[in-house]
Amino acid sequence: MTIDNFPSQLQPIIQQGYLAREFSAGLQSRIAFRAIADREVFPNRVGETITKTRKGLKSPVTTPMNPSQNVNFDNGLTPSTWSVEQYTLTINQYGDTIDLNVVSEGVGIADQFLANANTNGIQALQSLDRIARNALFGGGVGGVGGYMGGNTCVTTALGSSSTQVAVDDIRGFERLVNSTGQVVSVAQSAGMTVTIGSNAYTLVSVTADSVNTSTAPLGQSGTLTLSTSVSVSDGAAGSPVVSSTAPLVLRPNNRLTTAQLVAPTGNYGSSNYVTGDTLGIQTVLAAVAALRMNNVPTIDGAYHCYLDDQQMLGLFRDGDFKYLYRGAYGSDTYRAGSVVELLGVRFIPTTEAPLQASLGAGVIHRAIVCGQGALIEGDYSGALELPDSERSLVENVDGIMMVTREPLDRLKQMIAQSWYWIGGFALPTDATVNPTIIPTSTNSYLKRGVVIESL
């Protein structure tokens, strides 16, 4: 690999690896959603959607064999097999570039060169982290919805009983996993059981609104069509609409919908202060209990809780949290304003946590508590094997390709510094893990994460 075509001021930086280290420093500046993804290498091309199949388990055997049937070659046994389920992953390319003018930068060209690399690294990190977050909360193309899916509310009250109900978010209602483990649309199945208000109905089709009015982050408003008419009481505006296979969404004080969250009142520290529906440690522990009941594995010994700093502030104001943390780890936690680990949960503050505009009580914050396997990252195998070009410097930093191109313009003045990543994120389901396999498990398709909504 030759670097003779680059300006002399930059050749020592490239030769000693400063450029790659500066780009890598940007990539490692924040631990966030991408950190929980299991990495897999996929050989498919850009733009392709691939379907992956993974096996389930078999039900335990608790009935003894009948000695009188222990005959012949099969010994009275009937072969059984494990179930399968599928998830889809789309491979796309993401990237950006920045130019460096050798003439205009003058004596500062080396500093600007490294600054551009660092900026590209930070941008690449934030881009992949946001793509991972969107997949985690919002799902992806061809999936069963993200960890916010299957949990919404009625937006337009029914004047009379009807088979159609307008809802704020149709994610998690559009597709389901059939008996053979395939993800199919609701219209191609026997229907999905959905609880609207206080009663269960069978969902037969979903229609997205041409003009999206959803208030949920990454949400899509639409209409649910049921096999039987929904009563006026169940179809009241704001009534909860929850799929039978929806991921668990927790809210303080057992609020049924996002709009029911109640704001704190009074002045903090005074006798008239009421916490309202801010994040408390008991809600986090309820999420941990749900993950453990589904036997979700931890990540390096603890579940990860991604939350923003306002939710973290709610923890510090929570009485149970103060009691649990009293005397533990000294007072560094309160001085630093962060929590490292508590009761099997690793709290990770992030500025990428999705926020929702106020529905009357204040901005809605969402944390997610998740375990290993909640997210799959697919990296394009071809990007890892790209040869170095004679006219560019290519570095592979954690699956992200950093490309530095020598000046090719007529005046040999413009150096291009670029990055790209080819891959995608997917949410694998655990639909085959049911109470027959694990008695304490739930019916949720997505069992490896729990979303917590609070003010």
Q: What is the DSSP letter of 149?
A: T
H or E stretch at 131 = helix 109-138
What is the per-residue pLDDT for 154?
95
Nearest to 167 by CA among 244, 261, 259, 263: 259
304 forms bridges with which residues in the sheet? Answer: 346, 370
| Neighbour tally for 200: CB within 10 Å | 12
207 neighbors 222 (Cβ within 8 angstroms) = yes
Is 7:108 a contact under the CB 8 Å cutoff?
no
Judge contact between 126 and 136, C-beta under 8 A.
Answer: no
372 Cβ partners below 8 Å, 6+ apart? 36, 38, 296, 297, 298, 299, 448
Pairing of strands 183-185, 175-177: antiparallel
Residue 310 to residue 358: CA distance in whole angstroms: 14
Q: Could you tell me the pTM of the whole model?
A: 0.83
Q: What angle do the packed helices 18-27 and 109-138 form, to 10 degrees?
A: 30
Task: Calculate the alpha carbon distances from 251 to 37, 152, 268 in Å.
Answer: 25, 13, 21
| Rounded distance between C-alpha atoms, residue 186 and residue 79, angstroms | 32
Q: Which residues contact 338 (CB under 8 A, 6 or more apart)?
A: 312, 347, 349
Report the C-alpha gap between 34 and 32 in whole angstroms: 6
Are the beta carbons of 161 and 232 closer than 8 angstroms? yes
Which residue(s) pair with 367 in the sheet? Answer: 452
Alpha helices (runs of H) in 273-345, residue ranges in sequence order: 281-293, 309-317, 319-325, 332-336
In the numeric block, which tokens belong to residue 10? Answer: 């930059």
Cα–Cα distance measured from residue 183 to residue 141, given in angstroms and rounded to the nearest whole number: 11
- pLDDT at residue 160, as a whole number: 94
Distances (CA, A) of 47 to 5, 37, 378, 387: 34, 21, 13, 22
Distances in Å between the Cα of 100 and the Cα atoms of 106, 234, 238, 392, 405 are 11, 61, 54, 14, 10
Amino acid at 317: R
- φ, ψ of residue 128 to 5 degrees: the values are -65, -35
What is the pLDDT tens value at each position of the chain, 455 positions in all? 456 666 666 666 665 566 777 667 766 555 578 888 888 877 766 766 766 666 666 667 777 877 777 777 677 777 766 565 666 778 889 999 998 887 776 566 777 888 888 888 889 888 999 999 999 998 766 677 889 999 999 999 999 999 999 999 999 999 888 777 778 888 888 889 999 999 999 999 999 999 999 999 889 999 999 999 999 999 999 999 999 999 999 999 889 888 888 887 766 666 666 678 888 889 999 999 999 999 999 988 899 999 998 888 888 777 777 777 665 544 454 444 454 577 788 888 888 888 888 888 889 999 999 999 898 888 887 655 555 544 458 888 888 888 888 888 888 888 888 999 988 888 888 877 877 788 888 888 899 999 999 98
Strand (E) or helix (H) holding 366: strand 364-370
CA dihedral 52, 450, 363, 150 (to 10 degrees): 60
Quick one: pLDDT at residue 390?
Answer: 46
| Helices and strands per DSSP (H, E), number in the chain | 8, 22
> Strands 303-307 and 345-349, how do they pair?
parallel
What are the tokens at 141?
Answer: 């193309």
Please name which of 249, 27, 230 lies closest in space to residue 119, comparing C-alpha atoms.
Answer: 27
State how beta strands 303-307 and 364-370 pair: antiparallel
- Cα separation, 251 vs 260, whole angstroms: 9
Any idea which residue has 């609070």 for tokens? 454
